[in-house]
């Protein structure tokens, strides 16, 4: 295990990538802790992806036991990468660990990953409850995060429709809801095009007769 920890801390990203790959190729429960610890500090995207791959190669219950406490970490990257890894493991029981705090996390990366994980893991019958939390975020944050929210809500399908139709919290939220409804009806429309249409419609509706 000491060898793995040392390799995962190497200055060279290629060495860290190789170490994570080897840990996943030959799963060993002793590897889980160092792999999880590295999720929150690894700067290289490809190495982080390999860390997740290595973790999902290990025994699911042992991996989840080590992962779930990271959802409460003060480190946004640890929270985000843990959520990403949970989505890849695909255990619906982990849905209960995705708290409302994570769904409304102040960090955009964490929130986006929480939405993606939640919509992938939500148990049957709980889709509307999840949609009720997600619509609170309508009209907030930057455009890329709004795009992610629309994607998450369309993943929930018809469970989200009545909530989107009633979303009149403010002008931005209403426009975002209209965009998401358009994408629900036509997934191939594209977020940017749908946003342009919604804003054009809103501006036209405000013109004096």
Reported as a single tens digit per residue, the pLDDT across 35-94 is 999 999 999 999 999 999 999 999 999 999 999 999 999 999 999 999 999 999 999 999
The answer on 156 and 113 residing in a single domain is no
Domain end point (choices 67, 88, 123): 123
179: closest CA among 166, 162, 192?
192
pLDDT given for residue 207 in this prediction: 38
Task: For 97-132, write each residue's pLDDT tens digit.
Answer: 999 999 999 999 999 999 999 999 999 999 999 999
Q: How confident is the model at residue 2 (pLDDT cuts 50, 70, 90)?
A: confident
Domain end point (choices 71, 88, 123): 123
Q: Is the pLDDT of residue 4 over 90?
A: yes
Domain end point (choices 107, 123, 139): 123
The answer on 165 and 97 residing in a single domain is no
The answer on 30 and 115 residing in a single domain is yes
Q: In total, how many domains does the chain have? A: 2
The answer on 6 and 105 residing in a single domain is yes
The answer on 164 and 110 residing in a single domain is no
pLDDT given for residue 127 in this prediction: 96
**Mean pLDDT score across all residues of the chain:** 92
Q: Is the pLDDT of residue 199 over 90?
A: no
Say how far apart CA 101 and CA 72 lie, in whole Å.
Answer: 10
CATH number at residue 62: 1.25.10.10
The answer on 193 and 179 residing in a single domain is yes
Q: Length of the chain in residues, anyone?
A: 209
93-129: burial string, b at 16+ Cβ within 10 Å, e else: ebbebbeeebbebeebbbbbbbbbbbbebbeeeebee
Q: How confident is the model at residue 203 (pLDDT cuts 50, 70, 90)?
A: low
Q: What is the DSSP string of the chain?
A: -HHHHHHHT-SSHHHHHHHHHHHHHS--HHHHHHHHHHHTT---HHHHHHHHHHHHTS-HHHHHHHHGGGGG-S-HHHHHHHHHHHHHHT-GGGGGGS-HHHHT-SSHHHHHHHHHHHHHHPPTT-HHHHHHHHGGGTT-S-HHHHHHHHHHHHHTGGGTHHHHHT--SSHHHHHHHHHHHHHHH-TTS-HHHHHHHHHHHHHHHTS--
The answer on 141 and 115 residing in a single domain is no
The answer on 145 and 106 residing in a single domain is no
pLDDT given for residue 53 in this prediction: 98
Q: Is the pLDDT of residue 206 over 90?
A: no
Say how far apart CA 9 and CA 42 lie, in whole Å.
Answer: 9
Task: For 139-174, write each residue's pLDDT tens digit.
Answer: 999 999 999 999 999 999 999 999 999 877 788 898
The answer on 209 and 139 residing in a single domain is yes
Q: How confident is the model at residue 192 (pLDDT cuts 50, 70, 90)?
A: confident
The answer on 192 and 148 residing in a single domain is yes
The answer on 88 and 159 residing in a single domain is no
The answer on 133 and 118 residing in a single domain is no
Q: Write out the residue range of the structural domain in which residue 83 sits.
A: 1-123
Q: Is the pLDDT of residue 208 over 60?
A: no
């Amino acid at each position: 295990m000491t060898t793995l920890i040392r390799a995962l801390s190497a200055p060279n990203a290629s060495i860290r990538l190789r170490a994570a790959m080897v840990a996943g190729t030959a799963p060993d429960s002793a590897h889980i802790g160092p792999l999880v610890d590295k999720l929150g500090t690894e700067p290289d995207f490809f190495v982080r992806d390999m860390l997740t791959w290595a973790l999902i190669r290990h025994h699911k219950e042992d991996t989840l036991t080590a992962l779930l406490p990271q959802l409460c970490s003060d480190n946004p990257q640890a929270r985000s990468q843990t959520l990403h890894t949970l989505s890849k493991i695909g255990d619906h029981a982990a849905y209960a660990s995705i708290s409302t705090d994570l769904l409304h996390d102040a960090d955009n990366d964490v929130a986006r990953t929480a939405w993606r994980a939640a919509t992938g893991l939500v148990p049957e019958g709980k889709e509307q409850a999840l949609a009720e939390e997600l619509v609170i975020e309508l009209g907030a944050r930057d455009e890329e995060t709004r795009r992610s929210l629309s994607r998450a809500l369309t993943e929930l399908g018809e469970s989200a429709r009545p909530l989107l139709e009633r979303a009149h919290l403010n002008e931005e939220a209403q426009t975002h809801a209209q965009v998401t409804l358009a994408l629900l009806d036509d997934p191939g429309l594209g977020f940017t095009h749908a946003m342009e249409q919604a804003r054009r419609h809103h501006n036209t509706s405000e013109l004096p007769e």
